[in-house]
Amino acid sequence: MEQGALLLTEGRYHTSDAKTAHGLVRGPSRWKILGIVDDHNAGAEAGTLLDGKERGIPIFASLEEALQRLPQRPEWCVVGVATHGGRFPPSLRANLRAAARAGLGIVNGLHELAGDDPEILAHAPAIHDVRRPRPVRELAFWHGEAHKLAIPRVAVIGTDCALGKRTTTQLLVAECRRRGIPAEMIYTGQTGWMQGGRYGFVLDSTPNDFVPGELERAVVQCARDAEPRVIFLEGQSALRNPSGPCGAELIVSVGARQVVLQHAPGRTHYDGAEELGIAIPSVPEEIELLRFYRTEVAAVTINTEGLTIRAAQDFARELERTIGRPVVLPLTEGVGRVVDALRL
């Protein structure tokens, strides 16, 4: 039987902080997701609450309730949230300790490591800290090999963090494959690994000197093993996000010459830094910045957070008239027009 897992979302399942849980609920996942522990959303069904598609995943008020009521006992307890700074809130640490005492293995994607907690270490039968840094001797340095590849590389970059870049990347791979176009994804975050990604690494737990080399190694391995017609690169954070600028590596280090730009028009300031008043640049401004990187924005995808679907569609139509390239709502209308706009 497929091993089962419980997700911990600490009252945040209805927010973008639970993006790891959202990805595992939508799938794919390394485990069968049996339920979610989230006291603020207890009694709801996870798929219905997420996007209106029931998936048979109940949400429980506590770990104890979940273990008592689930017909299949989970083998794993998975941290399903991404907290600011990657630290354990006290309630999350308490739940992880309780899960370890109950004999569950721990899977954690935060920067703070579960294996460094003596109580979790003493009781958990297994611990996988996805962001535990690998020894430097195992890391690759950049050599420029990726620039010799003829396979198109398309970077999915956002104007902010927690925008759904990974989800859009997966939709693009699926749409290409549906059309008979061999496509692969390079994951760059902990959720990509949890979803069973074949090629990639966790960018923000890798020393900066080795990020280009690890990215290059993943791209070259993917090209050699899978021989795809296109490789999609999952972006992290945003080019100008002051808490974690990122994205240039996908263009400069491995030669992505096409970009799908993800944007949330319902946001005005960077996530988590609203009080600083640092505004997110407009889409035309970001397109202009990317032009200086000698790459082309083929299409824009819209995150509808904070907007009605109608308002998001109106924004998309107006923006498309302004920039002269497709602007789509990927979860509502799919990404067919985006793939149409790519040079493959």
pLDDT averages per 10-residue partition of the chain, 344 residues: 92 94 96 97 97 96 97 97 92 97 98 97 98 96 97 98 95 98 97 96 96 98 98 97 93 98 96 87 97 97 96 98 98 97 97
pLDDT at 308: 96
Q: Tokens 């080795």, residue?
A: 210
DSSP H helices in the chain: 19-26, 46-51, 63-69, 90-101, 118-123, 165-178, 190-194, 211-226, 248-252, 283-292, 309-323, 330-333, 336-341
- Return the closest-CA partner of residue 80 out of 14, 132, 20: 20
Cα separation, 280 vs 273, whole angstroms: 11
Helices (H) and strands (E) counted in the chain, each on its own, are: 13, 13
pLDDT at 272: 79
Q: Across-strand partners of 258?
A: 154, 296
The whole-angstrom distance between residue 129's C-alpha and the CA centroid of its chain comes to: 17
pLDDT at 271: 86
At position 71, the amino acid (one-letter code) is P
Tokens of 16: 């973008």
Q: Across-strand partners of 133?
A: none
Tokens of 343: 């040079």
At position 154, the amino acid (one-letter code) is V
In the chain, which segments carry CATH 3.40.50.720?
A: 4-129
Fold for 138-341, please state it.
Answer: Rossmann fold (3.40.50)
pLDDT at 250: 97
Cα separation, 22 vs 71, whole angstroms: 22
Tokens of 293: 């990187």
pLDDT at 150: 97
SS3 207: coil
The C-alpha angle with vertex 232 and arms to 237 and 16, in degrees rounded to 5, equals 35
In the chain, which segments carry CATH 3.40.50.300?
A: 138-341
pLDDT at 275: 85
Q: Please give the DSSP secondary-structure letter assigned to residue 115.
A: G
Q: pTM for the complete prediction? A: 0.94
Tokens of 235: 């972006």
Cα separation, 297 vs 319, whole angstroms: 13
- Helices 19-26 & 165-178 angle (0-180, nearest 10): 20
Cα separation, 109 vs 114, whole angstroms: 9
Tokens of 111: 């920067």
At position 201, the amino acid (one-letter code) is F
The CATH architecture to which 4-129 belongs is 3-Layer(aba) Sandwich (3.40)
- Helices 283-292 & 309-323 angle (0-180, nearest 10): 40
Q: Please give the DSSP secondary-structure letter assigned to residue 270.
A: -
